[in-house]
Amino acid sequence: MSAACALAETGLRVQLVERRSYLGGRASSYLHSGVGEVIDNCQHVLFGCCTNLIGFYRRIGVADRIHWTCEMTMIEPGGRRSQLGSSWLPAPFHGLPKLLSAHAFTLADKLALGRAFSTLMRPIPADSTESLGAWLKRHKQTEGALKRFWRLVIASALNADVDSIALPYAAKVIRELFMNSAGAGSMGMSTVPLSELYAGAQAFLEQRGSKVLFNTNVESAAWDEENAQWTLTTRSVTLASDLLVLALPFEGMQRMLPGLPAASGVGELTRQIEEHEHWPICSVHLWFDREITSLDHAVLLDREIHWMYNKSRLQPWRRGNYLELVVSASRPFAELSREQAIAQTVRELIEFFPTIAVAKLEKAALVKEMRATFGVPPGIDAARPTSVSPWPNCYLAGDWTATGWPSTMESAARSGHLAAEAICASIGEPRTILDANLKPRGLMRLVG
């Protein structure tokens, strides 16, 4: 979507081909027949540092549908709350006053976190082969800091175990979310269902003479050297195009490979794809007969459920009292049946919100995404191809390509902008499409 819209803006006529009947890919919403509600595939959050995603939202006119907050409430079982968030102090110290007063961490935890943060102020070389887990051990993080900060906040932002996360990716998340500036770390959530948000892309394309083809699964693509043209085969139509962007998830790209022409470089791309691994995310959607909490969202400590989003507050047009609970990077939770997952979620939630013990659960849904994200273990950058593909006039995009970002909507938007830049350069009309990173503020400007 980000490639298509950026290219349509330059005057190219674009056909966006989507196998589903709605836009958004993994970041989409749909009518869940079991509960009769439109739900997101899972709550998706973005941050102020996601400049390309925000740039894409601005381009398609939906940036005002994002609700922003700088506050993060952590709740312990029993209900005691701690607040993380920013203050008037210059970066990187803006979060310090709230961290220091947080009950969730002991003094030893806070000192350990302070030491770790100050070491991570400087970027970690991208070729570092250390895992976050090994680094945390080397930097003597306390059990509390490990459990309540690193494993919960950082590992779930990257959706993997700490031992399976390359240190440069974790360091990037720490710097962007907690150190570079209060704005970079502010969190955004859509006030409308995700597919409604991304429907802005369809309107944008159609206003520029481009179009979206829904329910159109691309099965193969052939290159005609003589006419310099691609032909795409789908079950219903054959499509022709001078230029092609393949913006598939890595397993989709793998499925597509046998239907693409032979070319040098295909072997290397195949090898790169094989290096990637999926991590699951589960979301449990609960509707109660009464309001459970006046918080918009919270981080839930020491239990299997990690994040609470109060959808009735974030999307006030909704009826009922709707909470969404997210469990990141947990393969055991993903193994549970629907009944087990919902029962465990409600059991755990009572420890944070006692009202639930007397409230009536009206309806519930479980969404398991076994292929939610790709992991970023040490060495993964060698397996992330650039937008240049093995084929002529064909470019690669998708969150797993070489953007330097973990598996996020920002990575997807960046990859689209990079592919669009490569296309503009290839047709002799080079231009900058990639949105610049936010500049660090305060004392972080002085750090290299």
Cα(first)–Cα(last) distance of the chain, in Å?
34
Using CB under 6 A as the binding rule, whether residue 46 contacts ligand FAD is answered as yes
Tell the smallest beta-carbon distance from residue 381 to ligand FAD (Å).
Answer: 17
Q: Can you tell me the distance from the alpha carbon of 229 to that of 243, in angstroms, rounded to the nearest whole number?
A: 7
Using CB under 6 A as the binding rule, whether residue 373 contacts ligand FAD is answered as yes
Tell the smallest beta-carbon distance from residue 143 to ligand FAD (Å).
Answer: 27
Give 369's strand partners: 281
Q: 361-374 and 278-288 as β-strands: parallel, antiparallel, unpaired?
A: antiparallel
Using CB under 6 A as the binding rule, whether residue 375 contacts ligand FAD is answered as no
CB 431 within 8 A of CB 422: no
Q: Which of 91, 124, 173, 281 binds ligand FAD (CB under 6 A)?
A: 281
Q: Which of 302, 369, 381, 441 binds ligand FAD (CB under 6 A)?
A: 369
263: tokens are 């070319």
Tell the smallest beta-carbon distance from residue 336 to ligand FAD (Å).
Answer: 16
Q: Which of 72, 112, 48 lies closest to 306 in space, CA to CA?
A: 72
User: With respect to ligand FAD, which residue has the nearer C-beta, 163 or 369?
Assistant: 369
Tell the smallest beta-carbon distance from residue 37 to ligand FAD (Å).
Answer: 17
Using CB under 6 A as the binding rule, whether residue 41 contacts ligand FAD is answered as yes
Interhelix angle for 51-60 vs 409-426, to 10°? Answer: 70
Give 74's strand partners: 82, 299
Could you write out the DSSP letters of every residue in 278-311? EEEEEEEEEEESS---S-SEEEEPSSS--EEEEH
The CB density around residue 412, as the number of other CB atoms within 10 Å, is: 28
User: With respect to ligand FAD, which residue has the nearer C-beta, 17 or 132?
Assistant: 17
35 CB-near residues (< 8 Å, 6+ apart)? 285, 287, 363, 364, 365
Q: Which of 152, 409, 418, 444 binds ligand FAD (CB under 6 A)?
A: 409
399: tokens are 């969150």
Tell the smallest beta-carbon distance from residue 358 to ligand FAD (Å).
Answer: 31
Using CB under 6 A as the binding rule, whether residue 59 contacts ligand FAD is answered as no
Tell the smallest beta-carbon distance from residue 366 to ligand FAD (Å).
Answer: 12
Q: Which of 109, 348, 399, 435 binds ligand FAD (CB under 6 A)?
A: 399
User: With respect to ligand FAD, which residue has the nearer C-beta, 47 or 117?
Assistant: 47
Q: Which of 5, 8, 12, 18 binds ligand FAD (CB under 6 A)?
A: 18
Tell the smallest beta-carbon distance from residue 64 to ligand FAD (Å).
Answer: 19
CB 36 within 8 A of CB 286: no
Q: Which residues bind ligand FAD (CB under 6 A)?
A: 17-20, 25-27, 41-42, 44-46, 217-218, 247-249, 252, 281, 369, 372-373, 398-399, 407-412
